[in-house]
Amino acid sequence: MAQISATEQKGMQQIDLTTLNIQQLSTLKQQLDQELNLFQESLGSLKIAQTKFQNSGETLEKVTPEAEGKEILVPLTGSMYVPGKLHETNNVIIDIGTRYYVEKDIDAAKDYFQRKIKFVTEQMEKIQYLGLEKSKIRDAIVEIAEMKLAQQQQQS
Amino acid sequence: MTEDIQRKLQSELNSFKNVQKELQKAIQTRQQLDGQFNENEIVKQELDILPDDGKVYKSVGPVLIKTELVEAKQNVSKRIDYITKELKRVDDLIVNLEKKQDGHREALQKLQHQFQQAQVKAALHA
């Protein structure tokens, strides 16, 4: 798919924005707006994922060897619970995606969530950086389009 | 004369729209595959750092079934291979469709131009 970037990259064509006509500029702006929207959406989903991993990691703090045998309420549905006893508190089973689950001890599980949080945060930073770059290009396009419009009005 | 061009224009526009639809669909498939690919890659990484005697379960409906780590690894690798092939196929399809779309777009522009000229001519004769 076509890419728009302010920094030069291999296999990319450099275009002087001032050489484009108003219609081309508006198409370009639309494309960038779409991309920016997508970025916002992705950031939202990543934020949700980050919070989930954080919650899971924090919950692990409460799962200690001392908790063995303690009573808990297990949710059967969103509004119905049955009492249960904690058993084997040094191991947890984690969903790693594509329907696979692995058993990990508490330390490995904590490490897992730490890694996931780091990964998601890194992705968010990347998207934020890209979004900033794209919105800069978008601003430049809007500016040039306005300039061209003003020129046209003067001429007519 | 104008009607002739108009008819051609209409049919060209239709095929252009069809290609556009196909392209949209292909891009959607590509995005889906990309997501699946990434998810499987992450699962592979997780399985790889597991000790050899690590316990792995697979969820089948509401139950977790214990699986051998080796088997799980094989399964995920197979899936990654398959998705990679599919990605390649869809990429080729997208390139093809984009070419087609460009061709139709050019033809459309030409016809539009012809149509305008024919209209001007008709107006002059009238």
Higher pLDDT, B125 or A132: A132
- Summarised one tens digit per residue, pLDDT across range B62-72 is 899 999 999 99
Q: Is the pLDDT of residue A53 over 70?
A: yes
Q: For residue B87, what are the domain limits?
A: 2-125
- Summarised one tens digit per residue, pLDDT across range B19-66 is 999 999 999 999 999 999 999 999 999 999 999 999 999 999 989 999
Identity at A55, one-letter amino acid code: N
Asked if B69 and B54 count as a contact pair (C-beta separation under 8 A), the reply is yes
Higher pLDDT, A10 or B112: B112
Total CB pairs under 8 A between chain A and B: 49
Is A18 contained in some domain?
no
A107 touches chain B (CB under 8 A): no
- Summarised one tens digit per residue, pLDDT across range A29-47 is 999 999 999 999 999 999 9
Asked if A74 and A81 count as a contact pair (C-beta separation under 8 A), the reply is yes
How many domains does chain A fold into? 1
B47 touches chain A (CB under 8 A): yes
Is A38 contained in some domain?
yes
Verify whether the Cβ–Cβ distance A98 to B43 is below 8 Å: yes
Is A5 contained in some domain?
no
**Residue A88: which CATH number?**
1.10.287.370
Helices B69-125 and B2-48 meet at what angle, rounded to 10? 160
Q: For residue A79, what are the domain limits?
A: 25-155
A101 touches chain B (CB under 8 A): yes
Q: For residue B43, which residues of chain A lie inside 8 Å, CB to CB?
A: 96-98, 100
pLDDT, residue B122, reads 85
From B57's Cα to the closest Cα of chain A, the distance in A is 5
Q: Considering chain A, what is the average pLDDT of its residues?
A: 91
Of A1, A96, A99, the CB nearest to B46: A96
The pLDDT of A127-136, averaged and rounded, is 96
Interface test with B, best of A91, A100, A117 (most B CBs within 10 A): A100
A99 touches chain B (CB under 8 A): yes
